């Protein structure tokens, strides 16, 4: 079992996302994360899906996705040379005694503080999964109040 990142190119039409998620639900595959957005072509959207499974499951997922009429192309970016990013907002407990320490962590990870509350900070961080996990680990000790992630997006490197 391994986490795969699938880049699914689809027609930009209402209902396409429902078709994709319905297929996952119906066949019992679990979506770990999902991000949808426009591409350079307004008629086409990109759905980036993270799904965990062995080779056989990923093969079935891919084949079943291809059967959806509005799915144009699927790339498994897992082993490909690719860049992936995710944006995360983390609200962390931060009274005066620890603020300096948190600011230091934020600097190390090249994250940003986007809101300052009386006892908390909101931190914005962008990066690949490893970086996100690392900052999450570092901040956990202070008390994470809330965290949201956009879901991963990814792209193959080079001219392809």
Partner 1 sequence: MKLKGAEILLQCLQKEGVDTVFGYPGGAVLPIYDALYKSEIRHILSRHEQGAAHAADGYARATGRVGVCIATSGPGATNLVTGIATAYMDSIPLVCFTGQVGTSLIGRDAFQEADITGITLPITKHNYLVEKTEDLARIVKEAFYIARTNRPGPVVVDLPKDVMEKEIDFEYPEEAINIRGYRVVKGYNSNQVITAVDYIQKARRPVIYAGGGVISSNAAEELRELAEKRKIPVTTTLMGMGGFLGNSYLSLGMLGMHGTRYANYAIGECDLLIAVGVRFDDRVTGKIDTFAPHARVIHIDIDAAEIGKNVEVEVPIVGQVKEVLAAINQRLEAIESEELNEWHETIHRWKEEYPLRYGDSSEGRIMPQHVIEEVYSLTQGEAIICTEVGQNQMWAAQYYHYKHPRSFLSSGGLGTMGYGFPAAIGAKIACPDLPVVDIAGDGSIQMNIQELGTAVQYRLPIIICILNNHFLGMVRQWQGLFYGGRYSYTDMSHQPDFVKIAEAYGAIGRRIKEASQVREALEEALKVKDRPVVLDFWVEREADVYPMVPPGGSLMNMLGGD
> 13 exposed, middle or buried (CB, 10 Å; 0-12, 13-18, 19+)?
exposed
Question: What's the min distance (Å) between Cβ of 10 and partner 1?
Answer: 7
Question: What's the min distance (Å) between Cβ of 1 and partner 1?
Answer: 18
Each residue 43-72 as x (binds partner 1 by CB under 8 A) or -, in order, gives -------------x--xx--xx-xxxxxxx
Contact 120, 76 (CB under 8 A): no
What does the radius of gyration of the chain's CA atoms come to, in whole angstroms?
18
- Total site size for partner 1, rule CB under 8 A: 20
Q: Which of residues 8-47 bind partner 1 (CB under 8 A)?
A: 10-11, 15, 18-19, 22-23, 26
Question: What's the min distance (Å) between Cβ of 78 and partner 1?
Answer: 19
Q: Which of residues 100-159 bind partner 1 (CB under 8 A)?
A: none
What is the largest distance, in Å, between two alpha-carbon atoms of the chain?
A: 57
CA distance 38 to 44: 7
Nearer to partner 1, 55 or 119 (CB): 55
- Name the E strands within the chain: 2-11, 31-38, 44-53, 71-76, 82-93, 112-116, 120-127, 144-149, 153-156
Nearer to partner 1, 52 or 64 (CB): 64
**Using CA of residue 145, residue 30, residue 63, residue 69, what is the dihedral sign?**
negative
CA distance 45 to 15: 12
Nearer to partner 1, 19 or 85 (CB): 19
Q: Which of residues 70-99 bind partner 1 (CB under 8 A)?
A: 70-72
Q: Which residue ranges make up the site for partner 1 (CB under 8 A)? A: 10-11, 15, 18-19, 22-23, 26, 56, 59-60, 63-64, 66-72
């Amino acid at each position: 079992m391994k986490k795969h990142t699938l880049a699914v190119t689809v027609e930009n039409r209402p209902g396409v996302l429902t078709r994709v998620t319905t297929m996952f639900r119906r066949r019992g595959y679990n979506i770990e994360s999902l991000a949808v957005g426009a591409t350079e072509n307004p008629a086409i959207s990109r759905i980036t899906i993270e799904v965990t499974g062995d080779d056989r499951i990923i093969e079935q997922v891919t084949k079943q996705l291809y059967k959806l009429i509005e799915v144009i192309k699927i790339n498994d970016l897992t082993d490909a040379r690719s860049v992936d990013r995710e944006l995360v907002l983390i609200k962390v407990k931060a009274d005066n005694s620890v603020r300096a320490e948190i600011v230091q962590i934020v600097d190390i990870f090249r994250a940003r503080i986007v809101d300052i509350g009386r006892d908390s900070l909101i931190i914005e961080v962008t990066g690949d999964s490893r970086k996100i996990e690392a900052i999450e680990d570092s901040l956990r000790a202070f008390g994470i109040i809330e965290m949201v992630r956009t879901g991963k997006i990814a792209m193959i490197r080079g001219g392809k």
